[in-house]
Homo-oligomer: A and B are copies of this chain.
């Protein structure tokens, strides 16, 4: 139903080349201070044109709030924010109804909607829809900040370049924002940018991994089983186009570990119970432990590439060589960093409101 969350709920609407994209947000506590310029800044981070390689879309995403915020505060009613779509050229897309692009939703969408969907620019399957997540999340973050909860997403892998250095979160907070690729380490970030540039040069694309850390969560947020932090967070992360994997704490490495290695021993630090390691990723039994919540999100390489690709004509059922024209974004990972960060905020706020932590 294009909606996510229970107490704090984001609904996204619009399509890539329709009149607008936007979000409806329910559950923001009345009286919360919400700065529209903070939301705008997050939208700018997500926008095409960021990073080393410019992307085809040129307009700035200008936020318009049409409900729910008055005098810089939430009214308690639904918040609706939208961005008008300008500068769209949909001429190329009709062809994909007949010859679907590999790696895109063209084919199953065609079957599902019988051709009635708005396919222009990818329609509701477009990465552009994540602007709605950023609007909803940037509101959530402002509410969370007042409660002492902060979030940081960072690029830890682009193609073959992996951030191996452990940069303290306090440092990363500063460096990630100034890095063109969202990497906490400058040298690694430069190599990532190089990786992207090379892919671009080769008319190809690369994937990557984003790590997200949530600091300051009280103990006991989340619910057992279906309301576990992992369940709800993963559901949100996998709604972002291009995500292929999500892991918490030790993640897939846990499979090869022994229990004696993996169990995080408890200790007391400054009068607070902590764990010495954080293989749990800050979550036990689906509930927050008080340690930082840590997870990683794998993105596939951008599907739209300039190279010729093999497809089929769905009417003739004949093979066709397809060449997608226009300018392509060779790596969406840098632009996905604020999407991960903000949509994670929405999940956390939802879980906290559900559990009565407000």
Binding site for B on A (CB under 8 A): 1-4, 6, 9, 11-15, 18-20, 22, 24, 26-27, 30-31, 65-68, 70, 73-78, 80, 82, 100, 102-109, 111-114, 116-118, 123-125, 129, 157-160, 199, 202, 204-209, 219-220, 222-228, 230-239, 241, 243-252, 254-268, 271, 273, 275-276, 279-281, 284-290, 298-305, 307, 309-312, 314, 317-319, 330, 355-356, 358
Contacts and interface: CB of A to CB of B under 8 A. Distances in A.
Given A24-B11, A74-B116, A207 B3 contact: no
Given A2-B78, A129-B224, 4 more contacts: A1-B226, A103-B259, A259-B307, A265-B309
Nearest to A10: B226
19 contacts: A1-B223, A1-B226, A4-B225, A14-B77, A31-B113, A75-B113, A108-B285, A157-B255, A204-B258, A207-B262, A228-B238, A228-B239, A230-B243, A252-B252, A260-B307, A266-B319, A267-B312, A267-B319, A268-B318
A193 B113 CA distance: 48
Contacts of A317: 268, 271, 273
A356 B235 CA distance: 22
B31 A219 contact: no
Nearest to A240: B225
A4 B232 CA distance: 11
Given A1-B227, A74-B116, A255-B159, A309 B108 contact: no
**This protein's copies in its complex:** 4
Contacts of A80: 13-14, 22
A35 to B, nearest CB: 16
B249 A247 contact: no
Report which residue of A245, A259, A267 has the largest number of chain B beta carbons within 10 angstroms of its beta carbon: A259
Contacts of A355: 112
Contacts of A113: 30-31, 75-76
